[in-house]
Amino acid sequence: MIDRPLTASDFPAFVRGAVQHGWKYVSGRYRWTAGVTAVIRNEAGAVLVARTAYPPRRWNLPGGRVERGERPQAALVREILEETGLEVRVGRLLVVQQLIRDNVTLVFGCERLGGELRPAPAEIRALAWCPADRIDRLPEPLGATVRDALRADAEGTVRYRS
């Protein structure tokens, strides 16, 4: 797991990220949103998970919001690079979920192309590889999302969660 405390050099990026998220929330930009997350697996089959730096500091799949006029796949490539430092190729859509009233999230399988794993201080507190035999120990709803995504990948289907 990569988990590091914030340092003084991280402070400007952390404040800038908090102000940007706060402004989008207050301005209503987050009223109806589309999100994208990635199932990225390493050579051993472990899934990359990220713990957010902002409250409530939950574990989730890495990803983010789709900006207006942006394709979901392009948003995912951008968000993964920003949050994790990894370059990815977006694969198949695995899960469509609507767990929050005004938000739909698309979960894609992704292939790691390169980059060095490093959490973005303004958004990500920690990154970890979750081994396949520990997926059942992930907090919900993350565990259910990962199980659905892996099942959809194995079956060649798309799963829907609400």
User: Around Cβ 126, how many Cβ atoms within 10 Å?
Assistant: 16
Span 91-133, pLDDT tens digits? 999 999 997 778 899 999 999 999 999 999 888 999 999 999 9
User: Token pair for residue 102?
Assistant: 């005004």
With 0-12 CB in 10 A as exposed, 13-18 as middle and 19+ as buried, what is 91? Answer: middle
Sequence-distant (6+) residues with CB within 8 A of 124 are 50, 51, 52, 53, 62, 83, 84
The model's pTM: 0.80
